Amino acid sequence: MKIPSHKLWSIGGPIFGALWLAAPVVAFGFTDPAGWQIALVALAIPAFAALFLYVVMTETPVLRPVGVMIAIAVALTLAADPVFGWLFAWAGSAAGVRLSAPSSLKAVATITAIAAASMALAGEGWAFWGVTYAVAATSALWLFIGGLFRTNAALREARAELAEMAVAEERLRFARDLHDLLGHDLSLIALKAELAGKLLPDRVDAAATEVEQIRDLTRSALSQVRKAVDGYRRPTLGTELAGAKVALEAAGIEVRVEGPEGPLDPETESVLAWAVREGATNAIRHSGARHAVITVRDGMLEIADDGRGAPPADPSGNGLTGLRERAQSVGGTIEAGAGPDGGFRLRVRVPAT
């Protein structure tokens, strides 16, 4: 399973890795190395760091670059200084976080064994156990973290599939409702039209009666369709909050929902439900946020995130314009712009009923 790179490694990961990589280099500098050893380290360490970042921050196959990392670690440990045995921890961590089980477990075990063998060949008895343990522990930690990444990715995919299934089920429900509403009336209309045709031209009065009944049935069917469509188009706040939570979390945005505390007037609920849909859509498409809070209380709905904030030109796109018209139709107001702590905030107020 491919994992988005921005989920695999935050900005703190490479910084911490760079600092950690400096530790064996600094220790190596105090060993009075030969010139060729300095040249070897100067060439190998940047290449090792580049490979490490390449593995953990991309979605490309990892076996070959991890293999090169292991080769560099072996060469520096045996040719330059045993302190570079710590580099195996990077190789093990990269394999653990990127490979899926059981490949990740096999890779970590193999890298730990190679690290132990390299330290043994280097003749560092006291450092053998420390380095081997550190490589095994660090690699196992990132193997566990990689498993969490993959589990979270699978959960997001499952949530997205559930949302799609819910939409498909709603479409089927609407189709069934229309069939139930119109099936009988349309069949009856067809029969009466056929009967009216048979009555003409001999029994004009009876045919006119059938035509009038056809007219009444048609109007009744049209009225039922309008009511069904109106009910289908009018969202409910509970449904929209649940859908927004699924959609936001599927997009990698952690969301917290507060409220509502009680039942709402249908018109108020409809406006707030549209606000939830519009706010969630904006957060997913434009914000780049990691967290969002949806608050519903006392005829007010607020969606705030920690993303990039409002666009510098005009935050009121077509969606927000339509939402403002909906709010104004029930005497409400809408505010859209930067929040007090940054990010973007959408607030809709409607009169309490």
The CATH number covering residue 209 comes to 1.20.5.1930
- 0.85 surpassed by pTM: no
| pLDDT over 50 (residue 5) | no
Residues 74 and 105 in one domain: yes
Of the three residues 156, 191, 218, the one that is the final residue of a domain is 156
Continuous segment of H or E residues that includes residue 116: helix 103-122
CA 60/CA 108 separation, integer angstroms: 19
Beta bridge partners of 347: 302, 335
Residues 130 and 37 in one domain: yes
CA 141/CA 147 separation, integer angstroms: 10
Residues 120 and 57 in one domain: yes
DSSP summary character for residue 304: E
Q: How confident is the model at residue 4 (pLDDT cuts 50, 70, 90)?
A: very low
Domain around 274: 237-349
Identify which of 75-79, 140-144, 158-162 has the greatest average pLDDT: 75-79
Residue 315 has a pLDDT of 45
Q: How far is CA 281 from CA 83, 166, 217, 337, in A?
A: 52, 18, 41, 15
| pLDDT over 80 (residue 186) | no
Residues 319 and 252 in one domain: yes
Identify which of 87-91, 125-129, 225-229, 287-291 has the greatest average pLDDT: 87-91
- Residues 110, 75 contacting (CB under 8 angstroms): no
Residue 71 has a pLDDT of 92
Helix (H, G, I), strand (E, B) or coil at 71: helix
Residues 195 and 254 in one domain: no
C-alpha closest to that of 121 among 188, 73, 60, 89 = 73
Phi, psi for 294 (deg, rounded to 5): -115, 120
- Which residues contact residue 13 at a Cβ distance below 8 angstroms, ignoring those fewer than 6 apart? 56
CATH number at residue 322: 3.30.565.10
C-alpha closest to that of 71 among 28, 37, 118 = 118
